[in-house]
Chain A
Amino acid sequence: MKSAMPEKFDVIVVGAGPAGTACAYTCAKNGLKVLQIERGEYPGSKNVMGGVLYRKQLEEIIPEFWKEAPLERPIVEQNFWLMDKNSVVKFGYKGLEWGEEPYNNFTVLRAKFDQWFAQKAVEQGSLLINETVVKECIVENGKVVGVRTDRPDGDVYADVVVLADGVNSLLAKQLGFRKELRPDEVALAVMEVINLPKEKINDRFNVNDNQGCTIEIFGDSTKGNLGTAFIYTNKDSINIGVGTTLSSMIKSKMKPYDLLDQLKNHPMVSPLLEGGESAEYLAHLIPEGGYNSVPKVVGNGVVVVGDAAQLVNAIHREGSNMAMASGRMAAEAIIKAKERNDFSEAGLSSYRDALYESFIIKDLQKYKDAAHTFEENPQYFQYYLPMLNKAMSEFFTVDGVPKKDKQKEMMKMLTGEKGKLNVIKDIYRAWKAVK
């Protein structure tokens, strides 16, 4: 069959997750000719996250998006659980100001949300094609000029290619922008969506129909591995999941699905899920290497955004918001480059500048040693957490022991075998890692 001259676009965006779609949306809105290519059956079909969507960064792209986006519940309560085998120390914050416009964050189901978001980009004039895998970037004279897909007559050209192909970006690797991911740079998260009637969710989590609740769980939820578990409330389902770094899973020889099973059956957790029906089971890698893992993000005719650029703040469970912000920044740089008709690395470098001046890289830099510190020092999860549970138990137990003696006992428990000096050292180390 004769094939016509392949078409040329201003921008090709590879991937229809939050980063790619934010970029496609912003480019199309500014009149650029955009082609967005997604490998899944539809945007969101292959995308996974715990389920918290932050308002701020999406609002900067689509003002008042909450009036039409398929969101689950605005989050009014966020909790931390420090969990031991048969106990838990809880703290959190509930504020009704989060239940009103403009809201703080929302729970979402990605399969629905990503489709909606991608459709918004299509409405701006971006062309979206699904079920198409980009195999490689077409490079001519040291410049990316297009992509090669797995379809017949599958080459297509553009001034700029945006790599939004996710955590294990094979395209960024092909261009030599990054090395193979190390097991300590990625977490493996598994999660389930469990259907539960709205009334039960409202009762069990003490919320109204339009109020959501999040719980981040440390300690026994990961069996001492470096990682966290989470429970988020949707409209009539619950997201529950657990993620730990691949390296700690390898070290402890634990399987992610076993961790999730144990979590679901944990006595502190199982009453929340009782009677629920498992609707979806998902697993995904999360880039948690932080600042040190961020690859080269700009080249000749190419930029890297979102997970592909390893833009995730694991400590604050932020990822999709960084993805969207990076996608928007990349789009703004592309629009500038188009005005000057300079798509070289220098011409696109304003993306890198914007990224490094923004909260994204600043936050990643702040926590650049955090994961490493906690991975190298398992005592935080394995020693202090159970001790804290025991101390709290002591505090609340009325057994005729004078309070002064109790406090002494609690301090002894916390410092215990380690001695005061070591405890102070540990506290200082943890503080340094996150300060």
Chain B
Amino acid sequence: MHIVVCIKQVPDTKIIKINPKTNTLDRRSAPAILNPYDAHAVQEAVNIKKELGKGHISVISMGPPPATDIIKKSVEIGADEGYLITDRAFAGADTLATSYALSKGLEKIAKARPIDMIICGKQAIDGDTGQVGPGIARRLDIPPVTNVLEVLEVNEKERTVLVKRKTSGGYEIVQAELPCLLTVEKEVNEIEYAPLPNMIKAARYEPVIWTVNDFEGVDRTKLGLKGSPTVVGKMFTPPRPEGGKKLEGTADEQVKQVIDIMLERKELFFVK
């Protein structure tokens, strides 16, 4: 079983600051980390490999050279090897160009070792689009299974995977044929404290670096800024929500006040 995990280096949005003039993220104000959803994706690959007793885990990322850090981080979690696509030609890519570039990288990996499953985080915490995973699946013509809460069974013989996926109202159990692409929620697993030999391996590990010249027959017009039709019209920081009204008085008085407010604001009951 060869599992490939797509990972992204993102600024830690818990602490990032926003440039008040341009409304863009001030990327220098926060450390770059492995996108948390992707960390769960790597961990899930490790869990599947453990469950099956064998397998091979590769990770692939597109980004600037410092993104080798997140490949090393993935090796700590348990990945066997990692690839970084890095070249000025890829810079400025939106989700369309990114999924094209990654699918080219995945095709190259698959040539050396056929891929049985691709796992992505459900979205990156900096862009929050969740489009790259399905975009890759579409280009590779394999089924995308998004929002996975739990991988229930990987059947190597039947070449199927059974998962529980989140829906807007609850969850559903879905079976897909291999190869397929899963995007995972955080609930899919707990990140384990990495064993020391993995840490030592990661400290030594040198990821494989690919530039645009490593891809044959790549359509350069589909890469980077040129291949990105997304236009950012305007960016703004949403105003902070104001605190709610606090009701005072005895419990009975407070209940009465709540009912009055609810009756007054009929939209709560979808009454126009």
Q: Footprint of B on A, CB under 8 Å?
A: 1, 3-4, 6-7, 35, 127-129, 132, 149-156
Contacts and interface: CB of A to CB of B under 8 A. Distances in A.
Contact of A149 (B50, B196, B202, B203): B196
B203 A127 contact: yes
B197 A7 contact: yes
B195 A151 contact: yes
- Helix, strand, loop or mixed for chain B's interface? helix
B196 A151 contact: yes
B194 interface: yes
Contacts of A35: 200
B204 interface: yes
- Helix, strand, loop or mixed for chain A's interface? loop
A129 B199 contact: yes
Interface of B: 50, 193-197, 199-200, 202-204
Contacts of A151: 193-196, 199
Nearest to A1: B50
A152 B195 contact: yes
A161 to B, nearest CB: 15
A152 B193 contact: yes
A22 to B, nearest CB: 19
A128 B203 contact: yes
B78 to A, nearest CB: 10
A371 B197 CA distance: 46
Contacts of B199: 129, 132, 151
B51 to A, nearest CB: 12
Contact of B200 (A150, A152, A156): A156
Contact of B196 (A1, A128, A152): A152
Contacts of A129: 196, 199-200, 202-203
Contacts of B204: 127
B196 A154 contact: yes
14 contacts: A3-B195, A4-B197, A7-B197, A7-B200, A35-B200, A127-B200, A128-B203, A129-B199, A132-B199, A151-B193, A153-B195, A153-B196, A153-B197, A154-B195
A429 to B, nearest CB: 51
The 3 closest A-B pairs by CB, nearest first: A152-B195, A151-B196, A127-B203
Contacts of B203: 127-129
A35 B202 CA distance: 12
Contacts of A7: 197, 200
B43 to A, nearest CB: 14
A148 to B, nearest CB: 10
A3 B198 CA distance: 11
A129 B200 CA distance: 7
B47 to A, nearest CB: 12
B50 A3 contact: no
Contacts of A127: 200, 203-204
A132 B197 contact: no
A156 B197 CA distance: 9
Given A7-B200, A127-B204, A154-B195, 20 more contacts: A3-B195, A3-B197, A4-B197, A6-B197, A35-B200, A127-B203, A129-B200, A129-B202, A132-B199, A151-B193, A151-B195, A151-B196, A152-B193, A152-B194, A152-B195, A152-B196, A153-B196, A153-B197, A154-B196, A156-B200
